[in-house]
Chains A and B, each alone.
Chain A
Amino acid sequence: MNEAAIKELLYKVADDQLVLGHRNSEWTGLGPILEEDIAFSSMAQDKLGHAQACYQILHEMGEAEPDQIAFSRKANQFHNCQFVELPIGEYDFSLMRHFLYDHADQIRFELFANSSFEPLAKLAKKVKGEIKYHVFHGNTWIQKLSTANEISKIRMQAALDESWNYALGIFEPGAFEEVLQNEGVFEGELALQNKWLATVCPLLEQAGLKVPEKAKWEPIYGGRKGYHTAHLEALVNEMCEVFQIDPTASW
């Protein structure tokens, strides 16, 4: 198997999870109601757990320890899409991102479940239930807020419009798409994007929201290659602050 291809795949998935998990944890203590605060924080923790599991597979393939990978890199060494690094904004945006990203996450791991790379297939089975819950949670909120009243509908539509091109950036093709397909590791970003569109578009329409016109689709790429917004550097500095005080300390 092509190790470089698998590593690239693992890094982008893991970095997405780490960065989004960190972002969503910023809502802890600030959620709209106590119950939602707990639910959203818990899902943020799940994301960090999924990141750790991916870094662990990378470690077993010869990369550094999970903590080292997570907390010792510069922003331009992260492979996450730019969507996940954007600030949490208002709750409408955070929920919309959660909904759009986690649908992609669910489909990605469904594809991973059939991967010829066994550690990935195993991980996919392990995280299935957690992601299923994340998607259920996202669907519930999007449906409710998009149909609650005129103001909430306007806000959810604005959040969707703001998110859309960034969300399309989740599916930025990598350097190894063909290799991964040929070796049965992963069907590829294009297949993932098509499945994602077929899933989220009907749900958004059902919620009364308008998916942006196709002519205006301009995926925001770059994140997978290390090009990021200034937001990521600030996030990485904050996230790594404690670890960097003493990188050799044992926790």
Chain B
Amino acid sequence: MHVGIVHAANPEMALAFAKEQFGRRGLSANIWVVNTRHVFASTYEDADIFESTSEKTYREAGGYKVMDKINQYKKAQKA
């Protein structure tokens, strides 16, 4: 996940800065530093390519409503 941009003299320093700018609040595992000029990105004007219609939620991880079933199964196993 891209979390932000820092100004730094070299990749090591960028990593040192990024850890304090962005890694202090939530739990982080590692940091990738990429020079901005080496990033080829889509534009914000094209954000509509990510839009998805509501009836397709089954295609997203959050669309699966299985926890109730799993919990029910676990409960049954215990009993």
Q: Give the interface of A toward B (CB within 8 A).
A: 33-36, 38-39, 42, 133, 136-137, 140-141, 143-144, 148
13 A-B residue contacts at CB 8 Å? A33-B7, A35-B6, A35-B7, A35-B17, A35-B21, A36-B17, A38-B17, A38-B21, A42-B20, A136-B12, A136-B16, A141-B13, A144-B12
The count of chain B contact residues (Cβ–Cβ below 8 Å) is 13
On chain A, the residues within 8 Å of B19 by CB distance are 39, 133
Residues of chain B from 1 to 30 with CB closer than 8 A to chain A in the complex:
6-10, 12-13, 16-17, 19-21, 24
State in angstroms the CA–CA spacing of A36 and B16 once bound together. Answer: 9
B16 touches A42 (CB 8 A): no
A12 to B20, alpha carbons, bound, how many Å? 28
Task: Decide: B24 and A42 in contact? CB cutoff 8 A.
Answer: yes
Given A33-B7, A144-B10: A39 in contact with B16 (beta carbons within 8 A): yes
Q: How many contacts between A and B, using CB within 8 angstroms?
A: 35
Find out whether the CB atom of B17 lies under 8 angstroms from the CB atom of A39: yes
Q: How far is the CA of A140 from the CA of B19 in the complex (A)?
A: 13
CB distance from A179 to the nearest CB of B (A): 39
Interchain CA distance A42-B9 in the complex, whole Å: 20
- Expressed in whole angstroms, the Cα–Cα distance for A136 and B19 within the complex equals 11
List of B residues within 8 angstroms of A42 by Cβ: 20, 24
A132 to chain B, nearest CB (A): 11
- Compute how far the CA of A66 lies from the CA of B10 in the bound complex, rounded to whole angstroms: 40
A13–B45 Cα distance when bound, in Å, is 55
**What is the CB-to-nearest-CB distance from A204 to chain B, in angstroms, rounded to a whole number?**
17
**Which residues 21-66 in B have Cβ within 8 Å of A in the complex?**
21, 24
Of chain B, the residue at the smallest CB distance from A35 is: B17
Pick from B6, B9, B10, B16: contact of A137, CB below 8 A: B16
Task: Name the contact of A144 in the complex, choosing from B6, B9, B17, B21 (C-beta under 8 A).
Answer: B9
Specify which of B8, B10, B12, B24 is in contact with A35 (CB 8 Å cutoff).
B8
- When distances are taken between beta carbons in the complex, the residues of chain B under 8 Å from A39 are 16-17, 19-21
A35-B20, A42-B24 given. 18 additional CB < 8 A pairs?
A33-B7, A34-B7, A35-B6, A35-B8, A35-B17, A36-B17, A38-B17, A38-B21, A39-B16, A133-B16, A136-B12, A136-B16, A137-B16, A140-B10, A141-B13, A144-B9, A144-B13, A148-B9
Q: How far is the CB of B3 from chain A (nearest CB, A)?
A: 13
Name the residue of chain A whose CB is nearest to the CB of B23: A133
6 cross-chain pairs, A with B, having the tightest CB-CB distances, nearest first: A35-B17, A39-B20, A140-B12, A137-B16, A42-B20, A35-B6
From A34, A133, A140, give the contact of B13 (CB < 8 A). Answer: A140
